[in-house]
Each structure stands twice: as structure tokens, then as C-alpha cells.
Amino acid sequence: MPYSIDREKANLTGELRPFKDFLSELDSDIYKFDYFDNFRQIVETVYVAFQKTIEGRLASFPPGLLPEEASGEFSDLRSILTAVYNFLYITTFKNMTSVPRELYYLTDSFLEKCSLSPTYVLSLGEQIEVTDFRWFLQKLQVETVYPEFWELIKNQKFYLVKFTRRLAYRGRSIDWPLIIHEMGHIVDLDKGIVKKVVPNFDYYTAFQILRRQDDPLLKEQYPIAQKVAKLSEYVADFLSTQYVAGAFGWRFLSEYLTVKGIFEEPLTHPDLNKRIAEMIDQINKLDLPEVAKIIEQTLETTLKDAGKKRVAYQREFPELDRVFDESRKLMGSASTREEIRRILHSRLKGSLAGSIDTDLPKLLTKLQESFFQGRPLVVEPSVLFLIYMYGLEKPNAEQKRQETFGMYGKRLKKSGSEFEELIQELLADCIKLYEVHKSYVALGAPDAAPAQLS
């Protein structure tokens, strides 16, 4: 009988071998990028924590313990080992390789604006969401089943940002602000923005309560749990809007009927009218009324297509002012009209630069025309997105844009939609170019402004 227990112990210890092989795979040259390095650190931390605790845990089993008495213990530990490995290797790692590097440049740029450098990875999935690795462990009940391991890992912050495959294409880069919203959740989770205002609940606890709304013991906690979840969405909306002005709201509304089933959940997400009303108010405060008008018009179209009506603006929670104030403190500089002018002054020269203060709308339109002709712009991502969407509030603007893409596409023997994809690939390239430019400047290279556009 003792031999049977020893064999089970040996088998369980042997199940750590896949983690070691996983680490060896991550050492391959094809994964020599910083985001894979960060992920490798997480895998190694988990592997070492298992190594440090598994022997002691197994040694606590007395030699004479009957197999049937030990089977539950072995099964629980094996389930945890297997689930954690599958989460890291299959759910995360195998879905990381299709994520374009340019998207990391964008998400890192946003986090830099928030003075934050968390450990995170971007990965393909069926949902658009953020998962804290510790939430996954809590779902496995690691705290109670394997407390030794939990003690070593409970302070390890690692975020997995998942999104659908269609958002991973460089030819859909105009939709990448949707992922900036998810990065806003990371800022909230890491800095505890909502928790400062509603201190008795964290998001994970709130989410679990909402998942058990029929439990009479949790009935009194349900309203505050829902408030925490919805405040978190408002914070992510606010942060993404501070960063890319109206680009998030525009793409969110444009893709609403496509993404609402994977991006929206009534239990945890505010009503569409209320969310967009807050964004419009915020964009107006950024002194970008023409962008706010784009959002208003897109909202009308989206509501009509969804069979809904616009309702009068009414703030959902009095705590919104406080969470917005806390969020604003974290953002180094928002995409205000003044900030956009400052950025353009740093990148343009000649007569073109002279119109930054005298006729910004005309300048943005001219930059857009140049960009749509295939000329790259080395400028901050927030301004890139603004240039791309600028002018869409004008009558028949979308139709005229499609006609323009069709005309330019013919020159390349491509359809208008194919040309539009090329322009969005150019947008992704420009995000990368700007980050490369920043790196050179950080190394001491001169920050030369580009030549004047013709």
C-alpha cells in the first residue's frame, strides 16, 4: 500500500515536467520579444512556486494513508497543475503568436501615458476582456485547496487581455481603440480607481456576486456589486477617451452590433445611451466639439440599426465625478485640442506648422488627404486616430471617403475596401514608426521635424 502512495507522488511530481519544457520553448529565438520575456517570467514564477511547495505538500501525506483517502488530495492537486498549465500554454501562449507587434506599441504607449508598466500579454480569444491571473486561480479554489502555492503567487500581478481574431489584423487597426478600453481596465485594477470610491468591493468579488444573483444570501450586496462593475466600465471608457479622444467611442458605436454579444453584458455594463453621453460630455471638455458631433451622429445611426431610441442624458452614479477625477490624475496628458496643437508643433515645420494655431481643422484635413495618399505620419497614435476620423461629421462624409478609397484603389488595381485595408496597415506602420522614432530620440538622436508636406 505505501508503494501505491509513493507512485502517485512520483506521478504528480512528474507533471511539472511540461512546465520545464514550456520554459525551454520560450527560450527559442523566435520569441525574443519583450512581451514574451515578460510572459516567460510569469511561467517561471509559477513553475518555481510549484517546485517549492509540491514536495512539502506530498510529504505531509502519511506513508500508511489509504489510497482512497489520498485520492481526493491527489486529484485536487493534479487538477490545479493541469488547469494552470493549460491556461498558460494553450489559452494564453498559443494565442499570443498572431498578435501584431504594432498593437503592443499602441497599448504600451497608453500605459506609459498612465505611468504604468504592468505585466500583461495580448492574446486571441472568443471574448473581448481582461483576466487577472489570480482570478483564474481563485476560480480553481487554490486559496483553500493549495494554500502553500497561493501564498507564493497571490501578489503576482499578471493580466491577460483577450480579443477576437478580427481585431488582430493590421488591416483593421482603426478598431484597436477597442483594446485600449481593455487596457483601461488594467489601469483601474492596478491602481484601484473604483476601489478608492467603493472600498468594500473589488471587481472579482463583485463579478462573482453578479453571477449568483439568484442567491438570496447575496441579495443585499447585488446593487453595490453592479455599481462596482459598471463604474469600472465608465473608468475604462474615460481613460480610453482621454487617450484617443473620440476614436474609442466612434469604433465602439460603429462595431456595436458586431461586438455587443462579446463586449457587452447588461449585468456588468452600463446602458449604451448613458455610456456615450458621458463620452460626448468628456470629448466636449477636451475642446473637440467636431469629434463629439461624430460620436453623436454615429450614436443615432447605431441606435436606429439596433431598434433603440436616444434618451435624455442622466448621470447614472453620483460617484462618477470622483472616479473620473481619480482617473484624470493618472493620465499624464489628455488629447485636448491644446495638446494636439502641441504635438503637431513638435512634428511639423514651415507654412504647414503656421496653420496649427490659425486653422487646425484645415490642417487636419490636409494631413488626412496626405495620409490617404499613402504618406506615413510619424506622430503620436492619438493624433493618428484623430486624423483618420476627422471630418466624418460633415454631410455625406462617409460616402465621399469610400469614393476616395475607390479612386485611389483603382490606381493600384484594388477595390476601395482593399485600399482601405492598406491605409489601415499604414496606420499600424505609423504606430510602429513613432515608437521607433521615440527610441532613437531616447538614445540621443536629434528629434528632427519632418519636411513640409506638399
pLDDT digits (tens, 9 = 90+) for 263-292: 556 678 888 899 999 999 999 999 999 999
Flag whether 197 is in a domain. yes
One domain for residues 219 and 254: yes
Q: Which residues contact 252 (CB under 8 A, 6 or more apart)?
A: 177, 178, 181, 259, 263
Flag whether 221 is in a domain. yes
Q: Which three cell numbers stand for residue 237?
A: 471608457
pTM for this prediction: 0.92
One domain for residues 151 and 198: no
One domain for residues 156 and 10: yes
- End-of-domain residue from the set 332, 366, 389: 332
Give me the tens of pLDDT residue by residue for the chain, a chain 454 residues long. Answer: 444 667 777 777 888 899 999 999 998 878 888 888 889 999 999 999 999 998 887 777 766 665 666 677 778 888 999 999 999 999 999 999 899 999 999 999 999 999 999 999 999 998 899 999 999 999 999 999 999 999 999 999 999 999 999 999 999 999 999 999 999 999 999 999 999 999 878 888 888 888 887 788 788 888 899 999 999 999 999 999 999 999 999 999 988 766 665 455 667 888 889 999 999 999 999 999 999 999 999 999 888 887 888 888 889 999 999 999 999 999 888 999 999 999 999 988 887 788 999 999 999 999 999 999 999 999 999 999 999 999 999 999 999 999 999 999 999 999 999 999 999 999 999 999 999 988 888 787 676 655 444 4
Q: Which three cell numbers stand for residue 202?
A: 473589488
One domain for residues 275 and 292: yes
Count of domains observed in the chain: 3
- End-of-domain residue from the set 139, 163, 187: 163
Q: Which three cell numbers stand for residue 241?
A: 477617451
One domain for residues 328 and 393: no
One domain for residues 70 and 140: yes
Flag whether 108 is in a domain. no
pLDDT of residue 401: 94
One domain for residues 255 and 366: no
Give the whole-angstrom CA distance, residue 150 versus residue 50. Answer: 10
Residue type, 272: L
Reported as half-sphere exposure (CB side, CA atoms, 13 A), residue 5 has a value of 17
Q: Which three cell numbers stand for residue 33?
A: 520579444
Contact in structure between 427 and 437 (CB atoms under 8 Å):
no
Flag whether 156 is in a domain. yes
Flag whether 21 is in a domain. yes
One domain for residues 434 and 364: yes
Query: Smallest Cα–Cα separation from 287: which of 251, 339, 240?
Result: 339
User: In this predicted model, what pLDDT tens digit does every residue of 372-387 receive, in sequence order?
Assistant: 999 999 999 999 999 9
- End-of-domain residue from the set 332, 356, 381: 332
Contact in structure between 408 and 422 (CB atoms under 8 Å):
no
One domain for residues 158 and 206: no
One domain for residues 364 and 387: yes
One domain for residues 32 and 151: yes
Give the whole-angstrom CA distance, residue 195 versus residue 193. Answer: 5
Q: Output b/e per residue, 286-300; b: 16+ Cβ within 10 A.
A: bebebbbbbbbbbbe
Q: Output b/e per residue, 19-29; b: 16+ Cβ within 10 A.
A: beebeeebeee
User: In this predicted model, what pLDDT tens digit does every residue of 230-254 receive, in sequence order?
Assistant: 999 999 999 999 999 999 999 999 8
Flag whether 256 is in a domain. yes
Q: Residue 49: give the domain boundaries.
A: 1-97+129-163
One domain for residues 387 and 351: yes
Residue type, 427: L
Flag whether 205 is in a domain. yes
Flag whether 261 is in a domain. yes
Q: Which three cell numbers stand for residue 347?
A: 512634428
